[in-house]
Structure 1
């Protein structure tokens, strides 16, 4: 009996090692493909492109918002908010959280370049996130489907994020670990993961909503799975922690700058790229304003049509999370997270071309695309991922010269 107890953990570790190796091969191949796409986009870049003719890979890694993380790492945060000529708060570093920026600086120190550290952090975090995603999904679907989900994740339309100076992949690592902890009911680790999420990228308030919905679901399902008092305490305290972390950055920005609305004003500064003038924030305002802007001002369609499309989209997504069998297979935790994050975006985001990047935290839903056992289906999904990846890389990094070509 004692021998069997020793053999079982060894076999489990060997199995986990084999899985990690398989994922490493998948991830490496996916990164080679992404690198080829980036090189091709750089070769096609011209004088009309944001990056100019034939930029290097380092230029692409440091492109767009990556430069803001570099500014955070090298300069820090302004104690006085910069203003535009019109007197409005201008774009500034307070919109970007510190964990990724300073971790990239630390990793890049031996190389003497922040951009190298940023590349390595994104690359390694993306691989680690792929491994955690597999283990998160295999609790609900079979190993083959979970591995295919990793293939889609590593090769998806936004796969360039694994190789550029954005905080997304590091945040996905924390998020997948946090979801895995919830699925396994290992709540103690969340006391570390929630602050890491909150200070890596905005969005931890979505996790607070998720914990609230998860707690309600656990209460009503307590007959099927016993709900003990310590678990209730963990869920409540962790939810409050996520709320506190979510609002703490606003308080910190206000304390440093002396302007209590510094963070919101900074975030709204980006919105003036689409809608000039003074912007204000209230829940749902972003999507309502965007419906009028895109359908009316840009596309020349009745503005009311935007509201109809918005309502239909909300209803469609809700129906998918509730009733589509492959999505239901992923388990209540992933479905509740997906719903919570989409509600968060609906409440706070102004939809524009960055919406594709902001949907990346829904990556556990790749499992639903991997559930069908048809090889033709899975190969077709992979082909669509690669096609979408090239389209995104070419437009965002090969061109980047139009309002809808901003990652």
Structure 2
């Protein structure tokens, strides 16, 4: 009897179009996130960054959303702000223009409303794109679970605040799908938009290079026409040019050649007592590993060992884990490219969790095991993680490390 009732409930659901099923999942997820945000607001105090009794609009406009709003209203400074010691201070050059101006236009000048609509809409479209990307790799059921984990995951609040992540993830998933289907032409339009939405396009340039090498190595059993070679090389060059162009633009406008890099380093100086004066690739993660383990009362060299073990474990998972291998070579190459990019440019702190969002295709590997108990357990873990992230970053955000 129970089986018949369950089957009767499932059949109407399965008859719905995929877009409708994903819409229902996404709507439920957003209602849960809204509930979490309201609960976090009720727990906010005068000691919190948002003060007592903040509204949902305060969260939408909180943290980095303020910088995007500043870009939309005032553009970028032609004179870099300086600290009392003469170093470049935090400024708008760290934030790309596409999301900032798109939110302004969508909101008809009311930036917060536009930012909310853009993030919310792009989040749903990203769910559709994720399903399309994974369906042929892991099957329909697992792909729908991957979408569920994504929509309700620990960082799902980003679908409802003024951050560029939703838009970037949507563009990225479409781009990865185009590469996997070898429809390279659309990427000439997509890459510049991605590049000026948020940092990360250099990781995509590396991915295209690795994709090209893979295609070349397999050309005997998987033909590689000359026109596709041209596309891959040209797109890799375009992504590289777009990735470095923002540094050139910032340098030309401000008259300071390394304006963008110094701007990015200005955030790192908030964490380190003796920060470096110039950007050095991979130094941020090495410094960060030492910094955090020292903060936790351990020798700095323990952090270096932990970092080496983490990198080794990541490499093993990408090359050997069966569930990850089912995603296909291209998605594993993207993951490796983006992880290498983060290691090269980022100083690890609480924002690292948000910066891991471009690894969204890995939800497919998480969704592969078919055990219902396992999948429900993962979903519960996602919701618990989401609540803890919202509580820490928006509800009781008062410590120096509570930065989304």
Short-chain TM bin: over 0.9
Other-structure match for 1:100? 99
User: Match of 2:257, SS?
Assistant: coil
Other-structure match for 2:395? 398
Q: Which of 220, 234, 237 does residue 234 from structure 2 map onto? A: 237
Other-structure match for 2:32? 33
Other-structure match for 1:132? 129
What is the alpha-carbon distance in structure 2 between the residues aligned to residue 150 and residue 31 of structure 1? 13
**Cα deviations across residues 59-107 of structure 1 (Å, max 9, x unaligned)?**
0000000000000000000000001111111000000000000000001
Other-structure match for 1:199? 196
**Cα deviations across residues 151-200 of structure 1 (Å, max 9, x unaligned)?**
00000000000000000000001100000000110000110111011000
Q: 1:49 Cα shift?
A: 0.5
What is the alpha-carbon distance in structure 2 between the residues aligned to residue 103 and residue 352 of structure 1? 29
Q: Which of 183, 186, 207 does residue 186 from structure 1 map onto? A: 183
Other-structure match for 1:287? 285
Evaluate the alpha carbon distance shift between residue 278 and residue 307 of structure 1 in structure 2; reply closer, same or farther with a 3 A threshold.
Answer: closer
Evaluate the alpha carbon distance shift between residue 278 and residue 315 of structure 1 in structure 2; reply closer, same or farther with a 3 A threshold.
Answer: closer
Other-structure match for 1:311? 308
User: Match of 2:261, SS?
Assistant: helix
8 A contact 2:268–2:275 mirrored in 1? no
8 A contact 1:90–1:269 mirrored in 2? yes
**Cα deviations across residues 338-373 of structure 1 (Å, max 9, x unaligned)?**
000000000111000000000000000000011111
What is the alpha-carbon distance in structure 2 between the residues aligned to residue 287 and residue 83 of structure 1? 25
Residues matched between the structures, number: 390
Other-structure match for 1:53? 52
Instruction: Report whether the alignment pairs 1:383 with 2:376.
Output: no
Once superposed, what is the RMSD of the aligned Cα atoms?
Answer: 1.2
User: Match of 1:140, SS?
Assistant: helix
Other-structure match for 2:21? 22
TM-score w.r.t. length of structure 1: 0.94
**Cα deviations across residues 278-307 of structure 1 (Å, max 9, x unaligned)?**
5331111101111221112x1120111111
8 A contact 1:72–1:101 mirrored in 2? yes
Q: 1:16 Cα shift?
A: 12
What is the alpha-carbon distance in structure 2 between the residues aligned to residue 31 and residue 258 of structure 1? 44
8 A contact 1:88–1:278 mirrored in 2? no
Higher alpha-carbon deviation: 218-227 or 249-258: 218-227
Instruction: Report whether the alignment pairs 1:161 with 2:158.
Output: yes
User: Match of 2:17, SS?
Assistant: helix
**4+ residue stretches of structure 1 with deviation over 3 A?**
none
Instruction: Report whether the alignment pairs 1:370 with 2:358.
Output: no
Other-structure match for 1:333? 330
Q: Which of 221, 224, 242 does residue 224 from structure 1 map onto? A: 221
Q: 1:17 Cα shift?
A: 8.3
What is the alpha-carbon distance in structure 2 between the residues aligned to residue 325 and residue 295 of structure 1? 32
Other-structure match for 2:4? none
TM-score w.r.t. length of structure 2: 0.95
What is the alpha-carbon distance in structure 2 between the residues aligned to residue 164 and residue 384 of structure 1? 22
8 A contact 1:290–1:350 mirrored in 2? yes
Instruction: Report whether the alignment pairs 1:270 with 2:238.
Output: no
User: Match of 2:49, SS?
Assistant: coil
Q: 1:276 Cα shift?
A: 3.5
What is the alpha-carbon distance in structure 1 between the residues aligned to residue 305 and residue 350 of structure 2? 20
Structure 2 regions of 5+ residues with no counterpart?
Answer: 1-13
User: Match of 1:139, SS?
Assistant: helix
Evaluate the alpha carbon distance shift between residue 405 and residue 377 of structure 1 in structure 2; reply closer, same or farther with a 3 A threshold.
Answer: same
Evaluate the alpha carbon distance shift between residue 213 and residue 305 of structure 1 in structure 2; reply closer, same or farther with a 3 A threshold.
Answer: same
What is the alpha-carbon distance in structure 1 between the residues aligned to residue 38 and residue 330 of structure 2? 39
8 A contact 1:30–1:154 mirrored in 2? yes
Instruction: Report whether the alignment pairs 1:113 with 2:119.
Output: no
What pairs up with 1:77-92 in 2 under 5 angstroms?
A: 77-92=76-91
User: Match of 1:37, SS?
Assistant: helix
Q: 1:224 Cα shift?
A: 2.4
**Cα deviations across residues 193-219 of structure 1 (Å, max 9, x unaligned)?**
110110000010000000011111111
Other-structure match for 2:5? none
What is the alpha-carbon distance in structure 2 between the residues aligned to residue 17 and residue 352 of structure 1? 42
**Cα deviations across residues 240-261 of structure 1 (Å, max 9, x unaligned)?**
0000000000000000000001
What is the alpha-carbon distance in structure 1 between the residues aligned to residue 16 and residue 174 of structure 2? 18
Q: 1:221 Cα shift?
A: 1.3
